[in-house]
Structure 1
Amino acid sequence: MTKTIIFSPDAPAPIGPYSQAVQVDNTIYVSGQIALDQATGKLMTDEGIVIETHQVMRNIRFILREAGVDFDNVVKSTIFVKDLGNFAAINEVYGSYFAELPPARETVEVSRLPKDVNVEISCIAIL
């Protein structure tokens, strides 16, 4: 087994004892990403759920690119939301990043997320 830590300077640095992503052999596990814009240090939570979700997906894209893959390589994702009332908007944004053959996924409503964001997404990709 080969374990490699993936770090993209374009995505937010971890806020705890975890890595942005870990590659084990041909599988990449991307930690949950929130809507923190690494370039400005600003949380995009006041911009509305559509902008917030786009920022989350951009952060995931930065990490996937650092690992040498893209959204076509994602086979599984998990979406955590504070309010399932935002599901339709989140789903539309999320879906725009998967033109064909979307990955398996679950969406779960939770009472609270890190830094009080409204959405957090993690994923698993393969090489």
Structure 2
Amino acid sequence: MTCETIATDKAPAAIGPYAQAIRANGLLFCSGQIALDPTTGELVTGGVAAETERVMANIAAVLAAAGVGLSQVVKTTIFLADMGDFAVVNEIYGRSFGDHKPARSTVAVKGLPRGALVEIEVVALA
């Protein structure tokens, strides 16, 4: 099996020992994205809506670097620091994917890196 590392400066650099994404066996495994601004490396401000918009932009940038788009995403996992934010995240997530509806799990977590409110990871056809 061959693995190809995908990286772009249009999404935040990894903040640990991992890749933004790995292509393997026709699939693209994208690491979870939090709302880091790719230019500054800082968490965006403005609450969960602003964070979700940035997360979706980061995901789109990583996918684009691999030559795929949101329509090739087959599975997502959303991590929320507060399930009370579900409706806001769900609205932005749904708008981002349009008519495409990948399989999805949403889980509440005790905390996320850098105090983020939302993190989303995706698996796409590559």
Q: TM-score, normalised by structure 2?
A: 0.97
Q: Residue 111 in 1 paired to residue 110 in 2?
A: yes
In the alignment, the residues of structure 2 paired with residue 48 and residue 109 of structure 1 have an alpha-carbon distance, to the nearest angstrom, of 17
Cα distance, 1:40 vs structure 2: 2.9
In the alignment, the residues of structure 1 paired with residue 41 and residue 65 of structure 2 have an alpha-carbon distance, to the nearest angstrom, of 20
Cα distance, 1:118 vs structure 2: 0.3
Identity level (%): 48
Structure 2, unaligned runs of 5 or more: none
- Residue identity opposite 2:37 in structure 1: D
* RMSD, aligned α-carbons: 0.9
Match of 2:12? 12
1:28-107 alignment runs, 5 A limit: 28-44=28-44, 46-107=45-106
Cα distance, 1:60 vs structure 2: 0.4
Corresponding residue SS for 2:39: coil
CA deviation digits over 1:4-63, x for unaligned, max 9? Answer: 00001111111111100000021000000000001233311x312111100000000000
- Residue identity opposite 2:66 in structure 1: A
Cα distance, 1:2 vs structure 2: 1.8
In the alignment, the residues of structure 1 paired with residue 101 and residue 55 of structure 2 have an alpha-carbon distance, to the nearest angstrom, of 17
Structure 1, unaligned runs of 5 or more: none
In the alignment, the residues of structure 2 paired with residue 57 and residue 68 of structure 1 have an alpha-carbon distance, to the nearest angstrom, of 16
- Residue identity opposite 2:3 in structure 1: K
Corresponding residue SS for 1:37: coil
Match of 1:123? 122
In the alignment, the residues of structure 1 paired with residue 67 and residue 73 of structure 2 have an alpha-carbon distance, to the nearest angstrom, of 12
Corresponding residue SS for 1:50: helix
In the alignment, the residues of structure 2 paired with residue 101 and residue 116 of structure 1 have an alpha-carbon distance, to the nearest angstrom, of 30
Cα distance, 1:99 vs structure 2: 1.3
CA deviation digits over 1:59-102, x for unaligned, max 9? Answer: 00000000000000000000000000000000000011111231
- Residue identity opposite 1:4 in structure 2: E
In the alignment, the residues of structure 1 paired with residue 101 and residue 29 of structure 2 have an alpha-carbon distance, to the nearest angstrom, of 17
Structure 1 runs (4+) deviating above 6 angstroms are: none
